[in-house]
Amino acid sequence: DTAVSQTPKYLVTQMGNDKSIKCEQNLGHDTMYWYKQDSKKFLKIMFSYNNKELIINETVPNRFSPKSPDKAHLNLHINSLELGDSAVYFCASSQTQGDTQYFGPGTRLTVL
């Protein structure tokens, strides 16, 4: 009965490739988020969707594009991967925009 799940858990790829990370929540929440955790463990918001509508779009390169096919899913597509994209990416969800956020297990992306 996983609440917020992400696939894959690990992703190793070459510079220049395009990759996607998928996120699903079975909590019935309206709002979903993508965070990036760098090597110093700082968690920074990237995007947020509320009822499939983009509501937070932080200063993130255009190579990153979120897509929400429905309320339960929020995917992250990354084009032309760069070395600096290596990090752990976390998906989270909350009942509404202001409620407690619950995080997925993370996807460790390594760009070689």
Partner 1 sequence: EDQVTQSPEALRLQEGESSSLNCSYTVSGLRGLFWYRQDPGKGPEFLFTLYSAGEEKEKERLKATLTKKESFLHITAPKPEDSATYLCAVRGGTSYGKLTFGQGTILTVHP
40 binds partner 1 (CB under 8 A): yes
Q: Cβ(13)–Cβ(108) under 8 Å?
A: no
Q: What is the dihedral of CA 100, 54, 17, 10, to 10 degrees?
A: 10
Which range of residues in 16-24, 40-48, 60-68, 70-78 is near partner 1 by CB under 8 A?
40-48
Q: Cβ(19)–Cβ(81) under 8 Å?
A: yes
Q: Identify which of residues 45 and 72 has a Cβ nearer to partner 1 in the complex.
A: 45
Among 20, 43, 61, 112, binds partner 1 (CB under 8 A): 43
Q: Interface with partner 1 by CB under 8 A: which residues?
A: 4, 31, 33, 40-45, 48, 50, 55-56, 58, 90, 92, 94, 96-106
